[in-house]
Structure 1
Amino acid sequence: MLGQPLQLLQKPGVSQLSIALKMASTRLLQILAISTGTYAEKLSPKVVQSLLDLLCSQLKNLLSQAGVSILSSGKDKEDSKHEDGADAEKKDLRGDEIKFCLLCKQHTAELHLGDFLVFLRRVVSSKAIQSKMASPKWTEVLLNIAAQKCCSGVPLVGNLRTRLLALHVLEAVLPACEASMEEDQMTTVVERLFSLLSDCMWEAPVAQAKHLIQIKEKVQELKVQV
C-alpha cells in the first residue's frame, strides 16, 4: 500500500500533481480519523463532530459512485428505439459497450466503498465516536448501502462484502443509539433491517439472477459483434 502512490504517478495522460494531492489528502484523512478515534474523549466535541461529518460526506460520495451505473442503465435502449437500420445497430453497440464499462467502474467503486467501511470500522471502535455516530444521518447511509434497491429489485450495491461491512459498522453504532435516538427512529431502523432480511431471502436472489443473465447476454453479444 505504501508503494501505491508511486505506481499511480506513473500513469500516462494523468496529472501527477492531481493524483499526488488526492493520495496525500486520503492519507491525511486516515491519520486524522484514527487519531480522533483514539483520543476522542480528550478532544473537543466540535472537533470530533467536524471529522465525523467529513467521513459521512465521504461515505455518501462513495455510495453515489457505486450506485450511479445501475441507476443510469437502460436509457440507451429507450433512445435507440427511435432509430432504424445501421445507425440504430451502431448506437446499440456503443450503448452496450458503455454499459459494460459502467459495470466495471461500478465494481471498482463498490470495492473502494468496502475498503472505506473497513477503515470506518476501525474508527468506530471508540465509545465516544459511537455516541457521536448514533444519529439518523449515519444509520440512514449505512442502511442504504446494505438495503437500498433499484427499481428492478437488484441491490444498489451489488458487492456482498461491502453490504456486510456496512452492517458491521451499523452493529457497532446501534447500541449507542438507544440513549440518543427517538423511538420512531429506532422503529424505522428495525423495520428496514427486517425488510432487508426478507429481501435477501426471497426477492434479491431472483432479481440478481435475472440481472446476471442479462449481463452475460450483453457480454456474449459484444463478443459476437466484435
Structure 2
Amino acid sequence: MNSLRSELLGVAVPAGIPEFRMMLPPGWQAHNASEETERAMLAQARERLRPVHRVDLQGLLESHVSSAMRVAREQGAIMLILPGPDTEAGLFAPASIVATIREATPQLSLDDLVVDVIQRRGGQQLDDGKRLLRWVERRTTRVGTEEVGAYIVFYLTPIPGTQRARALQFALTIAHDPDIDPAEDEQIAAWTALVDAHVATFRWGR
C-alpha cells in the first residue's frame, strides 16, 4: 500500500489544514489538479492500456480523467487521487478521488449538513470511531456527445481546531455505462469496498 502522506510530496495543501495520513490502494497516486498533470495522466493511461488492447476502457478512462480534472479545478480541489501506471489490472478503475474543503456558511453549518446527509441521503459512519461520514449519490453526465453514469461515494470528516466550521471531503467517482445499475454491479462494488477500506485508515496527524 502507498501512504498518502508520502504521496503528497509535491502536492500543495492549503495552509491551516493539519497533516493527515491515509493508505492508498496499491498503485494509486495523489496529484494536483493542473492541466499539466491532466496531460501527463492521459498519456500514462494510453500507455497503460495500449498493450492490452482495451480501446473501450481507454475511451471511458480518458473521458473520466478529463471530466474529473475539470470538476476538481472548478471545486478548488486540494488534490486528486487516481490509479497510476503501475496499478494492477484488477485495481485499474475508471475512478478518481477528489479532496476538497467544505466550509460552513451562515445558511448551512456543517452540523446541519451532517444531519441532512444522515436523514435524507442515507449517510452512515464509515468507521467505529465515527470520524468519517459516508454517503452515496448517483448521477449522469455528458462527456462530449456521450452520456456517462457517475457513482459517487462521499466521505466527510471535520478539520480539528476549526470548531466544526471546516471539513475535509473525499469524493470517489466511478464512471460507468449509464445502462447498468451501479448498486448491483460486482466490479463497482469491489472497487467501492477497496476505497472504503483505505479511506477508513484516515488519521489526522503524523
- Coarse TM-score class (shorter-chain normalised): under 0.3
- Structure with higher Rg: it is 1
Q: Which has the higher strand share?
A: 2
Q: Which has the higher helix share?
A: 1
Greater RCO, 1 or 2 (C-alpha within 8 Å, sep 6+) = 2
TM-score normalised by structure 2 residue count: 0.27
